């Protein structure tokens, strides 16, 4: 057995990482298509406000974070439906709002906050067995929910107008997706950290999109890229003694760059062939 698997903390890191590697791009691909790529980071900062508010009101941190995320994401959807602002600007509005509200709420607590961010932003190396179970349960539930409404979600993400004309419950579908995303992020950040969950939602999808291969293939490829990023990243971080979450993210970026180069090379070939045939 490789040395890296002698330690149960590494095994748990692989377990948690691989479950998220499947789940994150599966939800993330819908966010990316709608220009919500900053969503994970936004939800993390909204969670900060939630945890601070929870301490203030005496509610458990996880539930407070989840509640704050769901409220925020419903708010984001509501504003988006007004159609006066683009998705990415609304998301950044909530990012700054969440962060500021969190900082103010922390300051309101008379005794001062004992580094709330430390409780909020976890690390993939300190995942417990219970947390792996928790992530697996959320993962299976979210995955099943997405699979059940996959076609409708796809239709809504590609063109809301057409979907609405086709009789799909657009508002309901948007909210279901949003709440699934909020639940995943709110519960994962405390376990694996916002960097990891946020990056896995977005970067593998971007890598896969380089090939313009249709939605389902893009999704499959993005899951493959994200799983490989987790395995490569954790392995590299172990042998090269680097910070784990960040190494996984850098691996996924390496895959993105590689995909982009391959895609450019293939594009040039196609263009060259096209130019030759034109002559």
Q: Which residues bind other proteins (CB under 8 A)?
A: 2-4, 6-10, 12-13, 103, 106-107, 109-115, 118-119, 122-123, 125-126, 128-129, 211-213, 221, 224, 228, 231-232, 234-239, 241-244, 255, 258-259, 262-263, 265-266, 269
Smallest CA-to-CA distance from 189 within 39, 57, 76, 85 is with: 39
Please state, in angstroms and rounded to a whole number, the distance separating the CA atoms of residues 73 and 69. Answer: 6
- Nearer of residues 70 and 125 to other proteins, judged by Cβ: 125
Least separation in angstroms between CB 87 and other proteins: 28
Q: DSSP string spanning 202-236?
A: HHHHHHHHTT---HHHHHHHHHHHHHHHHHHHHHH
Please state, in angstroms and rounded to a whole number, the distance separating the CA atoms of residues 28 and 34. Answer: 10
Please state, in angstroms and rounded to a whole number, the distance separating the CA atoms of residues 238 and 165. Answer: 52
Please state, in angstroms and rounded to a whole number, the distance separating the CA atoms of residues 236 and 248. Answer: 8
Least separation in angstroms between CB 175 and other proteins: 33
Least separation in angstroms between CB 129 and other proteins: 8
- Nearer of residues 2 and 167 to other proteins, judged by Cβ: 2
- Nearer of residues 45 and 80 to other proteins, judged by Cβ: 45
- Nearer of residues 141 and 243 to other proteins, judged by Cβ: 243
């Amino acid at each position: 057995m490789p040395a890296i698997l002698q330690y149960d903390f590494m095994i748990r890191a692989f377990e948690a990482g691989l479950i998220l590697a499947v789940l994150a791009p599966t939800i993330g691909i819908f966010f990316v298509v709608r220009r919500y790529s900053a969503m994970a980071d936004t939800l993390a900062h909204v969670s900060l406000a939630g945890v601070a508010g929870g301490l203030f009101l005496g509610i458990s941190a996880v539930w407070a974070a989840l509640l704050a995320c769901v409220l925020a994401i419903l708010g984001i959807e509501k504003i988006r439906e007004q159609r006066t602002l683009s998705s990415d600007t609304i998301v950044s509005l909530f990012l700054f709002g969440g962060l500021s509200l969190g900082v103010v709420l922390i300051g309101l607590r008379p005794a001062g906050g004992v580094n709330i961010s430390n409780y909020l932003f976890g690390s993939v190396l300190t995942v417990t067995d219970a947390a792996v179970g928790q992530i697996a349960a959320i993962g299976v539930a979210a995955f099943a929910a997405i699979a059940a409404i996959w076609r409708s979600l796809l239709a809504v993400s590609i063109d809301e107008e057409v979907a609405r004309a086709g009789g799909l419950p657009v508002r309901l579908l948007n909210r279901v997706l949003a709440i699934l995303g909020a639940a995943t992020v709110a519960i994962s950040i405390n376990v694996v950290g916002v960097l990891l969950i946020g990056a896995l939602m977005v970067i593998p999808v971007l890598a896969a999109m380089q090939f313009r291969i249709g939605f389902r293939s893009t999704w499959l490829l993005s899951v493959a890229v994200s799983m490989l990023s987790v395995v490569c990243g954790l392995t590299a971080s172990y042998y090269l003694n680097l910070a784990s979450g960040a190494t996984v993210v850098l691996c996924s970026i390496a895959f993105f760059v590689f995909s982009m180069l391959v895609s450019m090379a293939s594009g040039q070939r196609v263009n060259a062939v096209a130019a030759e045939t034109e002559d």
